[in-house]
């Protein structure tokens, strides 16, 4: 539910900011881009998840390769981040250091507060860890994919920087969580 709410919020926030900055001047244009974004989220999120569930149900022997899939996933995510960052190499040099710190703090606070609020709400440690990861990471990969498809490469830069920093923070978090 957290993921669904976050995804819905991203669309509404994006459409609002685009209208504010003059990228969208008419409600029809906003509704048009909104529908395309919804369609792409369905393709990017639901199709792979549905396909995975179907494959697991139809081909139980697929469990043999499940150990490889996280490594494949990390490799693909790393490749996508590298492509986005290389497309924006010049723009990356012009990003103020404050933005990197803001992204780092946003991500770190998401991890910490997600865990603490989970514990305060009575969740066990494992569930609190899961909540902190969901809150801390959110959907930067989805943001990058949608920005690349519907806007200029520059629009994908914030999501790519967030993806890069969340992966660094994720490694640190994994080391901490290993001890909890």
Residue 114 buriedness (CB in 10 A; 0-12 / 13-18 / 19+) = buried
Please tell me the least confidently modeled range out of 14-28, 52-66, 78-92, 150-164. 14-28
Q: Strand, helix or coil at 128?
A: helix
| pLDDT tens digits for range 134-150 | 888 776 777 777 777 77
Give me the pLDDT at residue 121, please: 95
What digits encode the pLDDT tens for the residues 99-132?
788 888 888 888 999 999 999 999 999 999 988 9
61: confidence class by pLDDT, cuts 50, 70, 90: confident
Characterize 86-98 residue by residue with b for buried, 16 or more Cβ atoms within 10 angstroms of its Cβ, and e for exposed.
ebbeeeeeeeeee
pLDDT tens across 4-39, in order?
555 555 555 555 555 555 554 444 455 567 777 778
């Amino acid at each position: 539910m957290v993921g669904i709410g976050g995804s819905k919020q991203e669309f509404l926030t994006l459409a609002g900011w685009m209208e504010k900055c003059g990228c969208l001047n008419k409600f029809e244009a906003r509704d048009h881009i909104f529908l395309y974004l919804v369609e792409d989220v369905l393709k990017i999120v639901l199709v792979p998840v549905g396909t995975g569930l179907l494959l697991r149900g139809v081909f139980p022997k697929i469990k043999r390769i499940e150990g490889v899939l996280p490594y494949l996933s990390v490799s693909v995510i790393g490749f996508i981040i590298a492509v986005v960052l290389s497309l924006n190499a010049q723009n990356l040099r012009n990003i103020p250091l404050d933005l990197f710190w803001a992204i780092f703090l946003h991500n770190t606070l998401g991890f910490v507060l997600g865990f603490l609020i989970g514990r305060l709400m009575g969740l066990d440690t494992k569930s609190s860890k899961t909540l902190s990861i969901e809150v801390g990471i959110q959907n930067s990969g989805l943001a990058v994919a949608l920005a690349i498809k519907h806007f200029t490469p520059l629009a994908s830069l914030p999501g790519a920087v967030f993806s890069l920093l969340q992966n660094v923070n994720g490694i640190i978090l994994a080391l901490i969580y290993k001890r909890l």
